[in-house]
Amino acid sequence: MIIVNTQVSDDIAFSQLRHSHWHGFTPTDLVFPTFLFVVGNALSFGVKKWEAMSEGAVVWKILKRTAIIFLIGYLLYWFPFFHSGTDGHMHLNPIGHTRILGVLQRIALCYGIAALLIYYCSTRVVIAISALLLVGYWLILLLFHVPGGDPFGMLTSAEYRLDMAVLGDAHLYHGEGVGFDPEGILSTLPAIVNVIVGYFAGVFVSKHGKTYEGLAKLLLWGCGFLVLAWFWNLVFPINKKIWTSSFVCLTVGIDMVILAFLIYVIEFRKRKAWTPFFGVFGKNPLFIYIVSELLIVIFFNIPVGPDTSFADWSGQAIVHLVPGAWGSLLFALIYMMICWSVGKFLDARKIYIRV
């Protein structure tokens, strides 16, 4: 995601490193739902600690983690908190124009809701609720869109209508040129299922992941979700920006297939020499993500000339040396390695920042 977020320009970046414009799917669209799937995986191990805790302690832990991650996400959008006014003085960035929802906020909400469901409900009930979230979201979009408009359109969907009514245009994402939030209120409902499926995949792997039979079942479940996604896409298009239910099925299916492949390569074939590099990110994922978001904002606020920031200047310098999409990718890779170096520094000193 760091590589995707720090391309010099979407106009020259490889299409595979851009989100699909609307309906459709690119490899980049897999990254965020995989965050949620991995959150569910991690939850499957954390649940074991709940058995020795009181109900109040468990609920407090879930709510506290949810609140902290949500707040961090909100503060990232408010950063750098101040701006220079035309009068030459610094002014506080207005909270009234700060985006409320976003990536970390969705991770927080999906984790919190999924964790509470898993704690209080039986497996059968959690599965039933997951199915209800996917089908219910589909029906809501079909029933409550702008009259006469496309139920799956950007500015005509029930997702957009609810966000505008509750949050208002000033608190939405404007990267599309209009106020529309790809991490909106309504589309958070199906995203919860990404966490839940990740949780059940983690539980299954912990019990059966070291056998070929277990690996085959994990792979078959992944393929089953992919087939479901293909058929559902015929009537409910795969779309990351409104997080359609077919998109959920597609992404959890791919994640399960990838997980099965990784288990086979790492655990069965013992091919582990390449894993330490990625382990650096895995040991401090939230902190490295925060660093990546803050640092690029700082780079954009460091002036180099009258109308150029350090981020723009350095990006254009690399593209000048390596033109086109390869130059854009090179800049993003260099930035990613800067963030990785922060993680490596922490890992070398056994510093692991948890929420």
The answer to whether the bond into 80 is cis (omega within 30° of 0) is: yes
From first to last of the 355 residues of the chain, give the pLDDT tens digit: 899 888 888 888 888 888 899 999 999 999 999 999 999 999 998 888 888 889 999 999 999 999 999 999 999 888 876 666 666 666 677 777 788 999 999 999 999 999 999 999 999 999 999 999 999 999 999 999 999 999 999 999 999 999 999 999 888 988 888 889 999 999 999 999 999 999 999 999 998 888 899 999 999 999 999 999 999 999 999 999 999 999 999 999 999 999 999 999 998 988 988 999 999 998 999 999 999 999 998 888 888 877 888 888 898 899 989 989 999 999 999 999 999 999 999 999 999 988 8
pLDDT at 301: 82
The reported pLDDT for the residue numbered 49 is 87
The pTM score is 0.91
Strands 82-84 and 90-92: antiparallel
By the 8 A CB rule, do 25 and 186 touch? no
CA distance to 138, 204, 267, 279, 343, per residue, from 270 (Å) = 43, 21, 5, 16, 25
pLDDT of residue 222: 96
Sequence-distant (6+) residues with CB within 8 A of 75 are none
Predicted pLDDT of residue 34 = 95
Q: Which residue has the tokens 């991650």?
A: 69
Instruction: Tell me what pLDDT residue 239 has.
Output: 96
Helix axes 188-208, 123-143, angle to 10 degrees: 150
Q: What is the pLDDT of residue 85?
A: 62
Contact 219, 255 (CB under 8 A): no
Segment 78-85 long-range contacts (CB within 8 Å, at least 24 positions apart) = 79/293, 79/294, 79/297, 80/297, 80/298, 80/301
With contact defined as beta carbons under 8 Å apart, do 13 and 325 qualify? yes
Nearest to 37 by CA among 201, 228, 221: 201
